[in-house]
Structure 1
Amino acid sequence: MLIVPEREIADLMTREAAFEAVENVFAAMAAGDAYNFPVVREAIGHEDALYGFKGGFDRAGLTLGLKAGGYWPNNLEKRQIINHQSTVFLFDPDTGKAKAMVGGNLLTALRTAAASSVSIKHLARQDASVIGMIGAGHQAAFQLRSALEQRDFEKVIGWNFHPEMLPNIEKVAAEAGLPFEAVQLDGMVEAEVIISITSAFSPSLMADHVSPGTHVACMGTDTKGKQEVETALLAKADVFTDEVAQSISIGEAQHAIAEGLITEADVAQLGAVINGTHAGRSSDEQITLFDGTGVGLQDLAVAASVVELAVAKGIAIEVDF
């Protein structure tokens, strides 16, 4: 079995490689060539942690495995380590033998950012010039760096429940040579693209905070009960997702479905837009919303790519397991 430690990931996986892996796996899912297993996601009753498993099988790429991990909200304050902790395990689909163990923390941030960026590439207006960020935690910086590569943005605006964290995304804007402005939530009407990346259980972004023609990427809701945006926004928007089954059960769509504002048939796969079997955006006035629940196949795709790179560079550690 091969081991690729967390410490090696930063030198192996680029934003571009993560984007390509995620875009390809979304397309494979929509084509029926890859599928995700049911998610296990539980509050464990210790340290306020959420822990679970996401897995799947990509027949085309012969990638089989799972990611184990979750969210420990006290880590940063108590232990000075990031709140999201995970490990990816890959298996040989021909034999079932363990193939690789890969550090999943940075990979999770990169693949989550890649997913929202794939949605921006395929759903946002080409002339989008202002991007809005809701959330300024660890993953927000990854989100913004990746998103800025998808359009010629001219300005970044941001809101966070704890405004003292906004310099995290202001720094990314400055690195890109863009002005940054802290706004109240109603100031998001200026944005043509909005990324929400929080761990909230009640909505912050409301329907009247979003202007016609905006693309919204909701990237934080991956558990029953979590919610980042008002259900009325999903009713106004054309909704796309990584995996419909997850979207309606643990994603942002779970609440709009429960209230009867939308149905499962109203949620489309982003992969269908990538494949050209769904038109995607049809007008400049249309609001599009991507419900990024985070699927196991994303993790497997980027992990498999990392293993290949690690082997080629002689970095992978081989153990007799």
Structure 2
Amino acid sequence: MYVVPEKEIAGLMTPDAAFEAIEAVFASMARRKAYNFPVVREAIGYEDALYGFKGGFDAAGLSLGLKAGGYWPNNQKHNLINHQSTVFLFDPDTGRVSAAVGGNLLTALRTAAASAVSIKYLAPKGAKVLGMIGAGHQSAFQMRAAARVHNFEKVIGWNPHPEMLTRLADTAAELGLPFEAVELDRLGSEADVIISITSAFSPLLMDSHVKGPTHIAAMGTDTKGKQELDAALVARARVFTDEVAQSISIGEAQHAIAQGLIAEEAINELGAVVTGDHEGRGDAEVTIFDGTGVGLQDLAVAHKSVEIAKQKGVALTVEI
């Protein structure tokens, strides 16, 4: 089997390669060539940690496997980031394990690539202003990925802890874009594309905030109870997602569904837009991508990382 250590990922998986891998797996899912396995996620009763597995099989890309890991909130005492994961790939022809790949940076890259795919296909024409809600670690990846697929002229941002906005300002400067910190009502009315990437459990962006043609990539809600968007805003929008089952159970749509504001049938697969089987934005004023994160995305970028690592001669070989 091959081993691609975490320390090698930064030199292997580029944002462009991640985007191509995620775009392809969205298409595979829409064509029913790929499917995710049920997610396992449990509090282990030690170190306040959450641990679980996400897996699946992509018959088009021949990616089979799982990502194992979770959230360790006390990792600062070990000088480690809180999210830790490893992706294990298996040979679909034989079932033998084929690779173990460091999953921490890959998770950040695949999450950013997913929102970038939604921006490519759903951003309103002439979009100029990118709005960022959240300034945590993932926000920089999100902004860079968005800027690679669309020519924005300005970035505006908000964070519940304003002192963290320097991350957004620095990333925008790196991209050659002006940045301004604003309140949420201004962000909703001025931004053409909005990325929300927080861990909120109550709505931040309200229906009344959002005015004019807008696309929102809601990337923070991936657990029961989390919420970044007003349910009325979700109900007003044309909603797309990576996987409908997750959108209605743990994604941003869970609240609008629970309140009876929308039906499951109103939620569309982003992959169908990628394949050309759905018109996408159409005449909708507001579109939302409910990015819940699925195992197939992790497998896609891990599979690509192994290919690149083998080409560059940095993949370690281990006999088991």
Q: With the length of structure 2 as denominator, give the TM-score of the two structures.
A: 0.97
In 1, the alpha carbon distance for the partners of 2:198 and 2:70 equals: 14
In 2, the alpha carbon distance for the partners of 1:171 and 1:140 equals: 11
Is 1:20 paired with 2:26? no
Query: Contact 1:240 / 1:268 at 8 angstroms: preserved in 2?
Result: yes
Query: Contact 1:120 / 1:215 at 8 angstroms: preserved in 2?
Result: yes
Which residue number in structure 1 is paired with residue 84 of structure 2? 85
- 128-137 vs 63-72, which deviates more? 63-72
Which residue number in structure 2 is paired with residue 226 of structure 1? 226
1:75 is displaced (CA, Å) by 2.9
Matches within 5 A, 1:70-81: 70-76=70-76, 78-81=77-80
In 2, the alpha carbon distance for the partners of 1:316 and 1:85 equals: 20
Is 1:317 paired with 2:293? no
Is 1:294 paired with 2:297? no
User: CA distance change for structure 1 residues 286 and 156 in 2, over 3 Å: closer, same or farther?
Assistant: same
Equivalent position SS for 2:256:
helix
1:50 is displaced (CA, Å) by 2.8
Query: Contact 1:195 / 1:219 at 8 angstroms: preserved in 2?
Result: yes
1:49 is displaced (CA, Å) by 3.0
1:72 is displaced (CA, Å) by 2.7
Which residue number in structure 1 is paired with residue 93 of structure 2? 94
Matches within 5 A, 1:1-321: 1-76=1-76, 78-188=77-187, 189-283=189-283, 286-321=285-320
Q: Structure 2 stretches of 5 or more lacking a match?
A: none
In 1, the alpha carbon distance for the partners of 2:127 and 2:230 equals: 23
User: CA distance change for structure 1 residues 290 and 106 in 2, over 3 Å: closer, same or farther?
Assistant: same
In 2, the alpha carbon distance for the partners of 1:238 and 1:232 equals: 12
Q: With the length of structure 1 as denominator, give the TM-score of the two structures.
A: 0.96
Report sequence identity in percent. Answer: 71
User: CA distance change for structure 1 residues 159 and 47 in 2, over 3 Å: closer, same or farther?
Assistant: farther
In 2, the alpha carbon distance for the partners of 1:102 and 1:150 equals: 27
Query: Contact 1:192 / 1:211 at 8 angstroms: preserved in 2?
Result: no
The residue identity in structure 2 corresponding to 1:98 is V
The residue identity in structure 2 corresponding to 1:287 is V
In 2, the alpha carbon distance for the partners of 1:290 and 1:237 equals: 10
1:225 is displaced (CA, Å) by 1.4
User: CA distance change for structure 1 residues 79 and 159 in 2, over 3 Å: closer, same or farther?
Assistant: farther
The residue identity in structure 2 corresponding to 1:152 is N
In 1, the alpha carbon distance for the partners of 2:164 and 2:245 equals: 34
User: CA distance change for structure 1 residues 160 and 46 in 2, over 3 Å: closer, same or farther?
Assistant: farther
The residue identity in structure 2 corresponding to 1:236 is R
1:62 is displaced (CA, Å) by 1.3
In 2, the alpha carbon distance for the partners of 1:160 and 1:245 equals: 29
In 2, the alpha carbon distance for the partners of 1:44 and 1:263 equals: 34
Residues 33-80 of structure 1 show CA distances to partners (whole Å, capped at 9, x for unaligned) of 11111111233344443322111000112110011122233434x343
**How many residues are paired up?**
319
In 2, the alpha carbon distance for the partners of 1:39 and 1:203 equals: 25
Query: Contact 1:70 / 1:84 at 8 angstroms: preserved in 2?
Result: yes
Equivalent position SS for 2:81:
coil
Equivalent position SS for 1:128:
coil
In 2, the alpha carbon distance for the partners of 1:136 and 1:55 equals: 29
In 2, the alpha carbon distance for the partners of 1:141 and 1:75 equals: 21
Query: Contact 1:41 / 1:223 at 8 angstroms: preserved in 2?
Result: no
Equivalent position SS for 1:172:
helix
Equivalent position SS for 2:239:
strand
